[in-house]
Structures are given as C-alpha cells and as structure tokens.
Structure 1
Amino acid sequence: MTFFDVAAIPLHILYTMSSVLFLPMCTSPMFASCLDMMQYVDLFSCILVSLAMFFLFPLSYKHNGIRRGSLESRYGCNLSTTMTGPKLKHRLAVFRADGTLETAYEFVGSVPFGWLPESTVQSVAANVSDRMAISGSKLTIFQLDEAIMVNELAEINAQCASILNSVSLANAADVREYTEPLGPSITGEGRKYCIALVAVWIVPPEPAASARQRSLTPIVEDADAIDAREDIAQLAQQRRSPSTGATNAYLLSDQVVGHLAAAYNYRPPELAPPPLAIYHPTFARFRREMATPAESMEFTPAEVSQAWELIDASLRLYPNKGERRDKIRNILAFNGQPFWNGLEIPVNETTIKSDGGNTLFIDFGIPVVYPGLGELKNGLGEGGCDPSDQVHGGYIKVVSSKQYDDVRRVSCCPALLIGFSGPILVVWGAVFADRFFFERLACVYVGPQSPASSPSPAPGRGRSDLEVGIREVAKLLRTFHNSLQELRAHYVALKSKLSAPNPTIPSPSRQTWAPRQGRLPQRTPLTRVNPAQFIHWQSFTTKERDQYQLSYKSRLTNDITKTVFYASMARVLPSKLPQQNVVVKFTHRYGETGHRLLAEAGLAPPIHYCAFEESIGLWVIVMEYVPGQNLVFGDLREPNVIVSQPGESICLVDFEWCGPCEDVLDSQGNVLEYRVRYPTSISLDAGITWADGVTREGAIMKEHDIFRLRYMTLPIR
C-alpha cells in the first residue's frame, strides 16, 4: 500500500460523510472531478480541497423541502432556476375555488412557465391571469413540497386529484421566508412535465345588490355571462385531442355537470342541451324536413344516384378507415368541396385533424370558418371511440381556439356535425352559447330500411326495403345540403362585423390559416357579447297588429334546459314608448288557456304574446316580468294556514319568521336588513316534517317553503 493509498483513507471517509450530509453537492460533476485529482496530492492538500468544496457550494446544502407555514406564497419572492434537465417542461396547475376553506378545488387546466432569474411569485401570477383570462379574482400561488412528474398533459388532472381540497393542499405545499428562493432541485429524465407550482383561482362573490330588487336568480347577469363564456373557451383549450378525449376513460371525467367545458349532448342525461332552434332557424328546418315522409317528396335522378352510391360504398367492408374514406370522398361534395377530404385545422399554436368538414373563406384577413365537421370510423366499435363524441370534441377545440376569437364575438358558431361509423350516419347540430350544446338531428342507417307505413295494395306503389333506404338517404343528403348552405350564409352575413385580427393574409386555395412565423395574431379587444343575445327570435306582432322588438339580457333559471329568458320589449311604432321588462319562454307545449285565466284573476303574469313559431318549432310565450321581493315565510305549518272560505280562499297568519332570504344591502354594500333564520328554539321533533337543511339558527330558504307547501298539499299523508 503506497503513501497515496494511506492518505486517501480519511478522504474517503470525508467523501462518505459528505455524500450523506451534502448529497446535492457531492453528486455534482465538478466535485467528482476534484476527487479524481486528489490521489495525486498529499493528504493536507486533500483536506484543503474538501473544505473548499464545502464553502464553494453553500446553496446546494439547503434542504429541498419547504418549512411548514402559511399556505399563501408572499408576492415578491424570487423563483429560483434550480429546476433543470433536458426536455423537462414546466407547467403550473390551476385550480378553481369558491372562496371557502372547506371547498374542494376544481382542476381547470395548466399553463406553461419558465424559471427565470427575475421571476417572482407576482410575475407568475400575472402570467397565469393573462393566459387563463382571469380578471377580478384572487389568484394565490402555492409551491409543492414534491413536484408532480407526468409524461402527458392528460395525466395532470388525475395526479392532482389527491390535493384538490384545502387541507390536502396545506399538507402538500409550504412557503419559505420572504428572502429565500423558491423551487426544488429536480432533474428531468426523458420527455416529462414537471408540476412544481399550483395556482388557486378564488372566484369572486356575486356583486352586492339589493335583494329586494331581484326576484328570479339568473345563471349569470350580463357581465358575468360574457366573462363566463370566454372563461369556458379558455378552459376548453386545455381539452385533450378529439381522438383521445373521446375515449371512455376521459369521457368519464370530462362529461360531468361540474365540468364547464363539457359537451351538453345528453351523455349523461344530466348534460341535456336546450333546443338549438332558438339559436338558429336551420336546426328547426332540418328537423321539420327530416320528419317529412320521403314518400311524399320528389327527388331528382342525380339525388337518387348519389344516395345509391353512398349506400353501396357504406355497406361494403374495408381493411381500414383510409380506404373507406377514399371510396366515399367524391360521393359527398358540397359547394364543390369533397366533405371527406381530411382537414388540418389550426388550433392555437398547433393543429387538429378532422376526417371531414366544410370550410368557408369569407375574405382576406378573416380566419377560415368551419360550418361542417365530420369524423369517420371503419365500422361500429372501430377506432377506440364513437365518431360522434370525437367530432364533438373537435368542434369544441375549434370554436374555443384563439383563431375563432372574433367569430365567437359575433356568433354562437352554429355548425352541422357528422359521425359516420360503417353504415350508421348521425347528424348533429352544434352551437356555443352558455355552454357547448349539441343536438342530434338525424340518425340514419345508410342501407335498406323498412317502410314507415304498411305496404300499399295499389298497383305500382310498393317499394322494397332498398328503395325505401335510397329515398331516406336522398332526403337526408338534400336536407344536409340545404342546411349547410344556410349556415354558410350566416357566416357570410357576419363579414361586416368580423374585424381582421392582424394575421398574414391567407390564400383562398388553402384550407388552413396560419400566421407568420408560427405565431398567433394579436387578439383584438372583444366586444362584450351576452350569449342570450344569440337567440334569433327577436320580434313579434300581436293580434292587435302592434310590432315589438326584443332585447335579451340573461337567463332566468339555473337549469340550462329551461329556455326562460329575461328581456326588454320595445314597440316599433311609435318608438318613443318606454321599454318594458318581459319574460320570454320557449317550450314544446303550453297551456295558454289556463295561463290567461289565472292572469285575469291576477294570479299569473299578463301575456303579451303566445303562439307556436315555425322558425323555432316551439311555443313562444312573452309575458310581463313580475319582480319579486325575495321573502320567505318560514313557519309554513297547518296551524298558520286558515281557510276563510272552504274551496275558495285561504290566508296565512303568524309572520314571526317571515323576512328576506338574502341580506339586503345598500349601494355601498352595507347590510340594511339581515336574512332571516330559524329560531334556536325551533321544534325539530318527529311530529313535524321539515325540509332537509332546516336547523336551529339556520338560514330560512325558499326551498324550505316550497317543500312545506308541497307536503301540505299531498292528498294523503
């Protein structure tokens, strides 16, 4: 054993201790190189070099964890740049909360960010607010003790599920002192995403207003509805690709009522859309024409030939989707465009692929729009997802993109969608109003069909199943073509309203639109548009020949499927008459006689208009808006109800608990009158059936009165 071997013994001991105590420093390449060099120097020099390493890397000795403390990161803290690694992409997860500590947060997406020396918590928060279009809300940044590593963006939601409440987040995130740098040292291996920071977006409460000035509670008032629509568009940009998002695994998490960017397409039934005919008349016309018996229609030889060619191509078997699409590509063509030609549609900084679609170039400087989209599968069960779900996802990605900003500003983006699987063809209507709404307009077997009526005994009137199928398909193709033409005309009519978003000028021969150098154009300021204003039925004439114009303001119910709107009504001539607030209701059926009878007795709002509208395919009722007082009775029990005249009238007594169900505020937000609450001494024994939620000193709610009213009017109890 040489002198150098003996001299290296204490050095190895020191190296082992350093590895345990100062692992980040010891694993650095520079330190390892120094150790290799030490075998050629004496022991004293080795010790000097080891001590030098100790003081050369003081920052590496800090523990990567963060001390337990306050949840909220202090603005102004510098963000360190210690997170490095090849192909490591940093993302910041964004949660949405309603402001209560006990709330479960909702994951709304993630945004990329870069670790820069000058970065602060405040600058990161500002960047998140800009990317997510968050304004007027509190945004708090948290740093995770251990960063979450994922391989795909689609995994972020599932990986963050364990911390989606305030308690779990408190256990998973801490804050350093004001002057300490933030950011654990993490080295990326392979192509991964690193989630080290979390932003909690606390939605502000509804602006203070006098409870006595409100009756029905809309989903959102004007400004909130506008902001909510753009927020939903921002969230929809975080959706997965249409083919991935349409798989069952992701539909289970995305197709829920709480997901703002869900597809309202009756899957599940809770995601029911309103009738799309209120947003564009072509959807009502499509349904009406498809309901017309094909036997009563006349078709041209070209229409019959096209229908037969599509049936022949659809019923055949193909080894793959590509060959099927090649076969039907030239059969379906609208405005000279083969529908199944394949599209690459620009969506933000990337593109999505669609098996089919119809494009419309309006003018130079205006993005290409897509009145029709389609997805194709080689057969039922092929491709891993339903083509209807996939085309819904594609529509959401397109209309929520930054390229569609100006289009969203002036339109609800109506479109016709096709899901085609083997011989099964489904046509959907689609709009983006309060949410992404989809309505199935037709589902046709592209092949032989049984007749809708009994065979005719008249000579020459009978048809085979194949003949019936050809005529039904011909009817579908004609209806689709006519409706597509109407939607194209809708977008052309918007030309004067669409402002050029400062792009490069697209070529009319191209089906895509891409700005210079791969950059998106600068967003133009969006005019604030209320989604209720997209309702196309905006005027009517009374029996007295008086003409009125309607201006929609907001919804009047929390149920998306209930098409009841708050609007103002103005007489066309003379135009100087004051506007009147009204309620407009769209419904499939209505008891006009009963309403008018109660209105004459002062028990229902007066009706201004009630009729079935062909352009919508629904009954439309315009009635007077009756402002409420937001009062609750509270003690609705049998002893407090007196029948003054049996069978004719009743009255209530004992208004001790009666009062406002919300705090009454003045213009400065000061409480003028507090909401009423149940007394501490309320009897909650089994002898009285109270509504769920009734507690001592608990708030008295309208739902409690409604429950008691229904309970007391049951025929047998």
Structure 2
Amino acid sequence: MADNICIPFVILGITDGPLKFLYNGNLRTDPSKKLSDLNEDIWGYIDMLKLAFDGTPSIKYYKLEDPLSGDTEEIKQSCSLSFSGPEKLSKAYSLARSDIIERCNLADTSEKIKDMQYRLLIVVTWSKTLTSSYAGEILPTIHENGPSAREEALERAYKRDSPSTEATLERVRLRQKSNISDAFYNNRPLSLGPTPIAVYEPAFARFAEKVNKTNIVSGDFTREELQFALDFIRTCSRHYANETKRHEDLETLDFPGFVNLWLEQTIHGPNNSTYRPDGGKKYTSRFRQAVFTVLAELKNEKGEGNCDASDQVQCSYTKAYEGLRQQSCCPAFLIALTGVDLVIWGAVTADRFFFEPLASIMLVPMPKNSGRTALESKMLEVVNVFRALREGVDELVEHYAKLPNPPSVLTSDSANGSRPIATRSGGGTSCSGGGGKGRTSGGTSRSGGGGKVRSGGGPTFHTNEYIPGMFPRWHVFVSESEEYKLEYVRRLPTNFEKPIFLAKMTGGSEVGKDVVVKFAPSYCPEAHKLLGDLKLAPKLHYAKFEPCSKGNPDAPDMWVVVMDFIEKATHPSMQLEERHSTKLRRCVDELHAKGYVYGDLRRPNILVRDDELFLIDFDWANEKSKARYPLHIYLEETPSTHNWHRGVTRGGEIEIEHDVYRLESIIAGKV
C-alpha cells in the first residue's frame, strides 16, 4: 500500500454573494483515491465547523495556478482579495470535470500541490444563508428548524425503507451527515450531537442517575429480581447457533413487574407495511391508543447479520409514533442486545430524532475487587439497571397518560399511506380534515389562519407553529419569592447540540417578556451577574442547577439559565470597532478584578448593538484556580485556526494571561 499523501487545502463558501473563507488545513489521504472520493472527508470538516445550510450543498474542486501561502490570517486576506466573487475564480481552473474525477487519482493530480502550498481550492455552494460559530458574522438564525422543517425530516424518515435495510452500514453512512434532514442525532459522528434528551423528558435523567450509582446493595432487591439477573446473565453468555433460539430463551425471562419484554412487536408503516422489532413494551391510553414505551432489537453475536442492533432499533423508533408527534416528544427507551452486550438508549422526537446511550453493560462477569465474586457484582449491575428501566418506563406511562386528547391516528387512509391532519385546539390535539387555527395564544400561525399542509403520495402533515414536543419540560421557576412561567417560542442556535431557546416570561411585573433560556452542564452565575449589573452582559433572571428528583419532576439535572433576549444584536465583525473594543476590555478587566476568569473568549460569545457590547456564555467561567478548560476543547490543526494561548491544554487551568491573550487577539482582528 502506498504511503498517504498530504494535500494542503482551502475551503471557501458561497451563496449568491461573495465567497467567504471557511477553513484551511492539510488532508492526509490515500493517493489511490479519486478526487470525488474527497467529498466524504470534506463533509467531515463541514460537520466540524458546525455549518448549517438550506438544501444540499455542492462541492467543487479547483487547482490554483498561483498557490496561496502563509498562516491562516494571510490566507484569509489572500482569499478576500483574490476571490471576492464567483467571477474571480478565473484565476483557477476546475478539477471537477468528469474525465478527471472518474479517471484520475489523487497521486496523478497532486504532483503540483504536494509542495505544501495551498493549491487545492474547495468551494461549497449552498442555497441560502450559512451560519457557523467560526465563519458567520451575524447572530445565528434558525436554519431549517421549526415545525415545517421538523415535519419534512420526519416525513423523510417515515418514507424510508424498513429498519433492517436502513440500518445497514451502507445506508447509515449515507444518512449520518449534517446535511441530511432526517439524520439521527446520536453522536455518530460526533458532529451529530443531540440536545440532551432529559431537557424534554426528565425521566431519562433519573434513569441515568440510578444506573450510575455505585453503592448497590443486594438487600434492596427481591429474591425474584436477583433470580432474573442470574438467569439473564446465564442466557446471554451462552453461544447460540442462531438468533431465533436466543430469542426464544429470552422470551421466557420476565423481570418482576416488567414482563414480556422480548415478545415480538408490530409497527404499522405507510402503504400497509409492517415492521417487527424483536421486543418492546406498549402502553394503551384511555383513548385506546397504544404507544411504545420500549422498543428492542436483538442480534445473536457481533459480526452476525447485516446491521447493528442500536442502528436498527433507532430506525424502528422513527416509524412508531406517527400520530403523537404533534403533541409529544415521544419519549422511549430503546434496547439493543448483541450477544453479551446490552445498550439502553433514550429517544425523543424534538426538532429532529435525538438519541442518547444511557446504560451499557457487558454481560460477562468481571472482577471488581468489591468483596464480591465477579458474578455477584454483575448480577447487582444487571438487577439495578432493570429496576431503573422498569421505574423509567412507569414515568413514560405517566407522560403518555397525561396527553390531553386522542392522538391524531384515530383515522388514516391505509391505501395511500397518508396520516390524518392533527390540529391544536385548546389544551390538546384533535383530528380534522383540513385547516386549523394553529396556536391560539402566545404565538402566531405560519400562514394566515392555518398551518402548512404537506400532501402527496406519502404521509400528510399539518404543521402548527407550536408543537409541545419541540420544547423543554422545565417551564416554571421562582425568583425572589415570585413565580415565573415560560412559554417557549423557538430554538435559538442552529446547532442542535446546544439547548438554548427563546421564550416568553410572565410573572411579577413581567408579561410576555422575551428571554433566553439556556440549559448547560456548568455555569458561573456570579460572573454573569457581575457583568450583567454593569450592562455588559444580558440581565440575569435565574441561574440554578436543577437536580432531577421526585420533588422536582420537570428538572433536567442541568444548570438552567434565564436571561434577557438582546434584540437586534449581532456578533462583531472581524475588525472590532474602537467603542466595542473598549467595552470588551472592560468586561475582562472587571472579571479579573473580582477574581474570575472567562476562558471562552470568542466572537460567537460577544454581541454588539449600536454602542453596546454584551458578553454571553459563562459556561467555562469560574473563580481563578477553579476554572478549567473542557477536555474536548478544539486544539487540532494549526494553532492559528483558533489561536489559543500556547499554555492552553485539555482540562488545564484557565489563566488570566490566557484571557488577556484572547482579548488582544480579538481586538487586533486575528481571531
């Protein structure tokens, strides 16, 4: 096999305006690849940059006659001078001709670009506004989000092939890209990170807390529960000739109060199709509508079959809740069992399909040095997980039992696979043959007196402006003895991984005040309030860690922050105006004077409006000596890409000098 070659490249982006510099780097790749094979690598960089766009972008390749050289800032400058518009690409000639793509490999085309100068130019073209934490200069707007885009994504998933087909590696690789509307946000790849699902259904946070506890005591469980754990481990650890026999033996095992988990289920799809997951649990509501609280898929052993159990059960989930998505986030536990490997996922349907692994167990006894045998330790681990699963499913039953009106699947046209039109009326959802008034209070419909109706050969959707499943459960808080209620309006960032929402706040003297609600694993309210009191950060209304507990049923086990929404604010341009530079310097000085460091000083965390400047996002901030960089801070590629201080390390202490370095770099227009 030939050694990999290194190709320096520059990525530019364009809509109907000027070309915009996005990224430069060095790509190590197999020289036998054709140029068209680079598309997958380039999508990886686009995913890394958190780019969002309307439609499906195209990628074209150019080889520059005159190479670009220098560091990132010099290359940016060269691009702005040389390629200020599409017509300026006359200085380069296209490598995108079909004869080159089909007949030439990279070794043939790289002879003049392997001199480590930037000759390979990659242009990504999309249809509308692009937003990016790195490339955008305006406050991120909702792109391909909202009810209409949501329904388009769900419709696309609903019309795909069977779960067993869609879960094959070939199909998964095609679907799991950021430009695919119905991609599964399950951290595969990492660029498809989901919103934490406990934001929508806190039962998942309570389940995770239970399965992660370390002080598991055998006396907490019944004799029958412990017997199940032993039988389950025995069964899973056997080698079976085929999946059918393994499935038959699993069907005989029942956890107390949680029976028939491995009975084959039936999901009804479009055009009279049916899908049969290997197991699951159903709840039948008082309206006689059955919904899945659990779906399960089984594989006999690793390497058998043509797909992964986790991928298949996630595909099954996308087919199973068609009538409920207008009124619920459709929470469910998904079980994937492959030989001795058990994975339990949580699933919700919010803006898109969000999945998170909540428990993973290898069902072979492992020594723990705990004063117990390896088998005893594994039995306690298993019984604890199944107890938590049973209790978690009970919570999901409560969720579905509280849905106010019959789901919109009471009638359907099975001949053409269409679904009924769901409209929102008062407190719930009803079925109708058309129109509907959309949201009745606190919002506006998308078009006139009704929502957008999609029709055609597939399912029919009625899209309302307000869909409860798209928004967090947490919506009431108390501050200074006053109770406040939140009515969510829309998601703010284009990055689904960030749970930040625009909401209307009512309480005390406030009625329908626009606020930003942010959910985060860490936050420093003291630093935020310090700058907020100086009008250098949005006014802080609430910031508290909300632990999941029986007394706090809507809590997501995260920090919840409520602050003013700064209307008409934008991120600053590359060259900060002097009036804004002065205020940014004051932000940093005030924090340092009170013993705080900030850490994440970047343009996406700065807002400007007229003469005002606001610092936002205090996730990394803390008292000096306590503040640490996240382990996953982006430090790859050339240092100039993000221009962190050379002392910045993963998990390292955030220093005052690091803040100062970033401050001066931003003011100088270097980052």
Would you say the 8 A contact 2:54–2:143 is kept in 1?
A: no
Residues 532, 554 of structure 1: 8 Å contact kept: no
Matched residue, 1:421? 338
For the pair 1:711 / 2:641, whether they are aligned, the reply is no
Q: Is 2:232 the partner of 1:295?
A: no
- Please tell me the residue identity of whatever aligns with 1:442: A
Relative to structure 1, is the Cα distance of residues 714 and 336 closer, same or farther in structure 2, using a 3 angstrom cutoff? same
Change in CA separation of 1:642 and 1:356 when aligned onto 2, cut-off 3 Å: closer
Supply the RMSD in Å over aligned alpha carbons.
Answer: 4.0
* Greater radius of gyration (CA): 1
- Match of 2:326, SS state, is helix
Change (3 A) 1:322 1:644: closer
**Secondary structure of 2:361's match?**
strand
Give the match for residue 450 of structure 1: 367
Question: Larger deviation: 274-283 or 597-606?
Answer: 597-606
Structure 2 counterpart of 1:541 = 478
Q: 2:568 aligns with which of 618, 628, 632?
A: 628
Contact in 1 for aligned 2:329/2:468 (Cα 8 Å)? yes
Task: Say if 1:516 and 1:302 are closer, same or farther in 2 by CA, change over 3 A.
Answer: same
Q: What is the alpha-carbon distance in structure 2 between the residues aligned to residue 645 and residue 437 of structure 1?
A: 39
Residue of structure 2 equivalent to 1:568: 504
Q: Out of 299, 306, 316, which is 1:394 matched to?
A: 316
Among 267, 283, 290, the residue aligned to 2:204: 283
* Equivalence map 1:97-496=2 (5 Å): 104=58, 216-219=139-142, 225-296=146-217, 298-332=220-254, 337-349=259-271, 350-363=273-286, 367-399=289-321, 404-405=322-323, 407-451=324-368, 454-455=369-370, 462-496=371-405
Structure 1 position 521, deviation (Å): 6.0
Amino acid at match of 1:434: D
Q: How many Å separate the matches in 1 of 2:585 and 2:274?
A: 72
Letter in 2 for 1:325: H
Check conservation: 1:447, 1:470, Cα contact below 8 A.
Answer: no
Residue aligned with 2:194, SS: coil
Contact between 2:200 and 2:471, CA under 8 Å: does it hold in 1? yes
* Cα deviation, residue 273, structure 1: 0.8
Pair 205,367 (structure 1): closer, same or farther in 2 beyond 3 Å? farther
Q: Is the 8 A contact 2:329 2:470 kept in 1?
A: no
For residue 623 of structure 1, report the CA deviation from its aligned partner: 1.1
1:564–1:585 Cα contact (<8 Å) kept: yes
The amino acid that maps onto 2:544 is: A
Unpaired segments of 5 or more residues in structure 1? 1-96, 106-165, 169-202, 207-213, 456-461, 504-514, 650-657, 661-688, 692-706
Give the whole-Å Cα distance in 1 for the aligned partners of 2:181 and 2:325.
17
**How far does residue 218 in structure 1 lie from its aligned partner after superposition?**
3.5
SS of 1:568's equivalent in the other structure is strand
Q: Is the 8 A contact 2:581 2:667 kept in 1?
A: no
Is the 2:295–2:313 contact (alpha carbons within 8 Å) kept by the matching residues of 1? Answer: yes
1:601 corresponds to which of 534, 540, 546: 534
Could you say what secondary structure the match of 2:320 adopts? helix
The two structures have a TM-score, normalised by structure 2, of 0.59
Contact 1:449 1:469 in 2 (8 A): yes
Structure 1-normalised TM-score? 0.55
- Checking the alignment, whether the CA contact within 8 Å between 2:347 and 2:355 is kept in structure 1 is yes
Are 1:559 and 2:476 an aligned pair?
Answer: no
Quote how far apart the aligned CAs of 1:474 are. Answer: 0.3
Give the match for residue 144 of structure 1. none
Aligned AA (1:251): V
C-alpha distance 363-590 of structure 1, shift in aligned 2 (>3 A): same
Residue 487 of structure 1 and its aligned partner are, at CA, apart by 0.8
Are the structure 2 counterparts of residues 716 and 363 from structure 1 closer, same or farther at C-alpha, using a change threshold of 3 Å?
closer
Q: 1:413 to 1:438 in 2, by over 3 A?
A: same
Paired amino acid for 1:432: T
> CA shift at 1:335, angstroms?
5.6
Shift of 1:276: 0.6
CA–CA distance in structure 2, aligned partners of residues 643 and 323 of structure 1: 70
* Count of residue correspondences: 439
1:521–1:287: structure 2 CA closer, same or farther, 3 Å change rule?
closer
Deviation at 1:549, TM superposition (A): 0.5
**Deviation for aligned residue 1:339:** 1.2
Deviation sequence 1:284-313 (CA, Å, 0-9, x none): 001111121243461111111111110111
Distance 1:519 1:659 in 2: 50
Kept after mapping to 1: 8 A contact 2:53/2:143 = no
Q: Given that residues 218 and 557 in structure 1 are in contact (C-alpha distance below 8 angstroms), is that contact kept between their aligned partners in structure 2?
A: yes
How far apart are 1:628 and its partner, in Å?
Answer: 3.2
Q: CA deviation at 1:537?
A: 0.2
C-alpha displacement of 1:240: 2.4
CA contact (8 A) 1:245 1:251 kept: yes
Contact 2:139 2:569 in 1 (8 A): no
Q: Deviations over 1:562-605 (max 9, x none)?
A: 1111111111xx6x752211111101111122111111222111
Q: Does the 8 Å CA contact 2:159/2:270 hold for their aligned counterparts?
A: no
Q: 1:367 and 1:520, CA in 2 relative to 1: closer, same or farther beyond 3 A?
A: farther
Which structure's residues are more often helix, by fraction?
1
8 Å CA contact retained: 1:530, 1:553? no
Q: Partner of 1:15 in structure 2?
A: none
Letter of the 1:225 partner, please give it: G
Letter in 1 for 2:665: Y
Spell out, residue by residue over 1:184-236, the C-alpha distance to the aligned partner (whole angstroms, 9 max, x if none). Answer: xxxxxxxxxxxxxxxxxxx9979xxxxxxx98434259xx6111111111111
Aligned with 2:519 (options 571, 586, 601):
586
Contact 1:294 / 1:475 at 8 angstroms: preserved in 2?
A: no
Secondary structure of the residue aligned to 2:395 is helix
Amino acid in the other structure paired with 2:565: Y
Change (3 A) 1:556 1:500: closer
Decide whether the 8 Å contact of 2:504 with 2:512 is kept in 1. yes
SS of aligned partner of 2:502: strand
Q: Which amino acid aligns with 1:541?
A: V
Give yes or no for contact 1:532–1:553 (8 Å, CA) kept in 2.
Answer: no
Q: Which moved more, 1:592-601 or 1:310-319?
A: 592-601
* Structure 1 residues 670-698: Cα deviation after superposition (integer angstroms, max 9, x where no partner): xxxxxxxxxxxxxxxxxxx999xxxxxxx
* Shift in Å, 1:283: 0.5
Q: Deviations over 1:436-458 (max 9, x none)?
A: 1000000012231332xx54xxx
The answer to whether the aligner puts 1:617 opposite 2:538 as a matched pair is no
* Partner Cα distance (1:241, 1:434) in 2: 22
- Preserved CA contact (<8 Å) 2:330 2:469: no
CA distance in 1, matches of 2:584, 2:559: 38
The 1:636–1:386 alpha-carbon spacing in structure 2 relative to 1, beyond 3 Å, is same
